[in-house]
């Protein structure tokens, strides 16, 4: 998906790369503080290059939006030998009545047959992301190390891992 430097299993994504992943994904998790507890909710969303939008029913997400709360949003993807994660931080707020048709036009619709009558926008104040190439975790003192070569199609984990040294 993204090219890493040789032997670097973790790639810090550029904003452009992170936004590409946001555009092509439709689900994530919204986290925020509510009544002294950290809450986290799965949501489906759309991204219009400026904001993330989702729909909600009355409850803590709507209360957080009405309070224009700071939130964190995370979306990710996992393939057989690679994965990625994008985190957005910003404020959520209700979508103004005059913008609802615009947001509907983006294709935002709940996945499940429940009433989610309220539209919420997440402004992007910070966006970060990482892409990972999967392999066995190395252990200190292990001479068999992870190798990655962008010229090869797959990563090469160490052969025959010692089960007494695997992480638990």
Map out the domains of the chain as residue ranges.
10-132, 135-168
Q: Could you tell me where the beta strands, DSSP code E, fall in the chain?
A: 10-12, 27-34, 37-44, 46-47, 51-56, 70-79, 82-94, 118-123, 126-133
Contact 91, 70 (CB under 8 A): yes
**What span, in angstroms and rounded, lies between the C-alpha atoms of 89 and 82?**
24
Contact 36, 76 (CB under 8 A): no
Contact 73, 5 (CB under 8 A): no
pLDDT category of residue 149 using cuts at 50, 70 and 90: low
Homologous superfamily of the 10-132 domain (CATH): Electron Transport, Fmn-binding Protein; Chain A (2.30.110.10)
Ramachandran quadrant class, 35 (left: phi over 0; alpha: psi -120 to 50; beta: rest): left
**What span, in angstroms and rounded, lies between the C-alpha atoms of 76 and 86?**
6
The answer on pLDDT for 132 being more than 80 is: yes
pLDDT tens-digit readout, 40-53: 999 999 999 999 99
The answer on pLDDT for 165 being more than 70 is: no
pLDDT tens-digit readout, 54-101: 999 999 999 999 999 999 999 999 988 889 999 999 999 999 999 999
Percent of the chain with pLDDT over 70: 82
Closest CA to 30 of 75, 63, 93: 75
Token couple for 92: 């959520």
Give me the pLDDT at residue 79, please.
87
């Amino acid at each position: 998906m993204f090219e890493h430097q040789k032997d670097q299993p973790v790639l810090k994504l550029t904003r452009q790369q992170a936004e590409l992943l946001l555009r092509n994904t439709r689900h994530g998790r919204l986290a925020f503080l509510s009544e002294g507890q950290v809450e986290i909710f799965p949501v489906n969303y759309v991204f219009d290059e400026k904001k993330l939008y989702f729909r909600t029913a009355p409850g803590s997400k709507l209360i957080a939006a009405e309070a224009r709360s700071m939130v964190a949003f995370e979306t990710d993807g996992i393939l057989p030998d690679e994965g990625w994660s994008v985190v957005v931080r910003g404020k959520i707020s209700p979508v103004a009545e005059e913008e609802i048709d615009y947001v509907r036009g983006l294709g935002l619709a709940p996945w499940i047959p429940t009433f989610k009558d309220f539209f919420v926008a997440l402004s992007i104040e910070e966006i970060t992301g990482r892409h990972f190439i999967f392999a066995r975790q190395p252990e200190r003192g292990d001479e068999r190390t992870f190798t990655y070569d962008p010229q090869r199609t797959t990563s090469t984990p160490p052969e025959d891992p010692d089960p007494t040294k695997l992480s638990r």
